A = this chain, B = another copy of it.
């Protein structure tokens, strides 16, 4: 009798011996003897291999029993591969074509085999390089609207929604990383934190900033208790892969039920930070200013596409228990349903601003920094960019009522950047 081997991490050298018998791979790659394997994981948590064969290529992603970014001293359950798989199925179905195709999931090995996206690169790298992606705003705005709406009690049959809520309530460990790293660590002297020494004064200010800490704790409660929809849960520019015409979303292992504004705020914050980084990344480059405007326009476009698509789904797919058809359309009050939509979008926008603000703090003062800022070698130049992010972040988190729309946020970003000059 065959017994299933226990979990063991793959290596580039051992992968063919371990997976040669899996038809999901051989069918797409051709004979195992010709496979070429390289480990390409640059994320914080997993092993990632690209396997190229005679007939094609695939990505093999395997969870490690610890957080790769820290090492074996931070043990971490292999179950996260299961939650990533379950979340990817759902998000992929809610906006078809936007996630990589999944070919195989092996729970015991915490292993997924998926489409090799090529010639895609991580969006964050594309933003550092100053590349423009004409279809990106539409893709991401649609993805946000479709996944956030369709995973909610506004759209789903509620027994199904509650079963999903229960399932993803099991993703305690990765949720716990978000809860700590996003909402708490940056606001106290946590040993995991690190920061640019040029920001020592800002760090001292943050420790004494009661209004900011109250906002952080309020937003943490929103995140932990606001079970609106299945979030991607880590939706930044490092979780998007792009080519000239295509955009794909990866790395859904932080998925949890939470407030819609969390995914949107995470993404927009990373765009605003990317814009702030341009001056430090490309000093003297004539395109840097035009490009940071392109990034800010992209943020505005994503929110506009999101609201348009969310409104379309509201009008056509509002089949869940929060739909309220009985109260409005069935009583010939279409305008009432439109007002309910406007109220919902206003609530999402309010959350979006708060979460975007905190994302900037954790990326500058917490554990997980962003390549845009890290790539600026000069501490003072880098600090100048990071300081702008903190200023914008504080305004968004503490005084969200100042920002009626993305244009108002972009206006402050421009002002912090010293104007359009």
A121 is an interface residue with CB less than 8 A from chain B: no
Q: Dominant SS at the A interface?
A: helix
* B169:A165 contact, CB within 8 angstroms: yes
Residue of B nearest to A170 (CB): B166
In the bound assembly, the distance between CA atoms of A321 and B178 in angstroms comes to 12
Q: Which of A267-275, A298-306, A323-331, A375-383 contacts B (4 or more CB under 8 A)?
A: A323-331
* B213:A328 contact, CB within 8 angstroms: yes
0 or 1 for each of A150-181: is its CB under 8 Å from B? (1 = yes): 00110000110011011101101001100100
* B184:A327 contact, CB within 8 angstroms: yes
A220 is an interface residue with CB less than 8 A from chain B: yes
In the bound assembly, the distance between CA atoms of A166 and B330 in angstroms comes to 34
CB-defined contacts of A190 to chain B, threshold 8 Å: 326
* B225:A153 contact, CB within 8 angstroms: yes
* A324:B217 contact, CB within 8 angstroms: yes
* A213:B158 contact, CB within 8 angstroms: no
* A331:B165 contact, CB within 8 angstroms: no
A226 is an interface residue with CB less than 8 A from chain B: yes
- Say how far A82's CB is from chain B's closest CB, in angstroms: 15
* A176:B188 contact, CB within 8 angstroms: no
The residue from B170, B324, B327, B344 contacting A162, defined by CB atoms under 8 A apart: B170
* B163:A214 contact, CB within 8 angstroms: no
* A188:B330 contact, CB within 8 angstroms: yes
* B336:A214 contact, CB within 8 angstroms: yes
In the bound assembly, the distance between CA atoms of A172 and B165 in angstroms comes to 12
* A327:B187 contact, CB within 8 angstroms: yes
In the bound assembly, the distance between CA atoms of A324 and B219 in angstroms comes to 12
0 or 1 for each of A244-284: is its CB under 8 Å from B? (1 = yes): 00000000000000000000000000000000000000000
Contact A326 B214, CB 8 Å, known A163-B169, A169-B162: no
A319 is an interface residue with CB less than 8 A from chain B: no
A54 is an interface residue with CB less than 8 A from chain B: no
* B172:A158 contact, CB within 8 angstroms: yes
Residue of B nearest to A163 (CB): B169
* A165:B165 contact, CB within 8 angstroms: yes
Residue of B nearest to A179 (CB): B321
CB-defined contacts of A324 to chain B, threshold 8 Å: 184, 213, 217, 220
CB-defined contacts of A172 to chain B, threshold 8 Å: 158-159, 162
A228 is an interface residue with CB less than 8 A from chain B: yes
- For A210, A225, A340, the residue with the greatest tally of chain B CB atoms inside 10 Å of its CB is A225
Contact A210 B165, CB 8 Å, known A172-B159, A228-B225, A327-B217: no
A339 is an interface residue with CB less than 8 A from chain B: yes
- Say how far A257's CB is from chain B's closest CB, in angstroms: 8
A221 is an interface residue with CB less than 8 A from chain B: yes
* A326:B207 contact, CB within 8 angstroms: no
What are 23 A-to-B residue pairs whose CB atoms are below 8 Å?
A: A158-B172, A162-B175, A165-B169, A166-B166, A166-B167, A166-B169, A166-B170, A169-B169, A179-B321, A187-B326, A188-B327, A188-B330, A190-B326, A214-B340, A217-B322, A217-B327, A218-B343, A220-B322, A220-B324, A221-B228, A224-B321, A224-B322, A226-B227
Known: A158-B224, A216-B327. 10 other contacts (CB 8 A): A153-B225, A162-B170, A169-B169, A187-B327, A190-B326, A207-B331, A210-B336, A213-B327, A217-B327, A220-B322
Q: Nearest 5 pairs between A and B by C-beta?
A: A166-B166, A166-B169, A188-B326, A162-B169, A213-B327
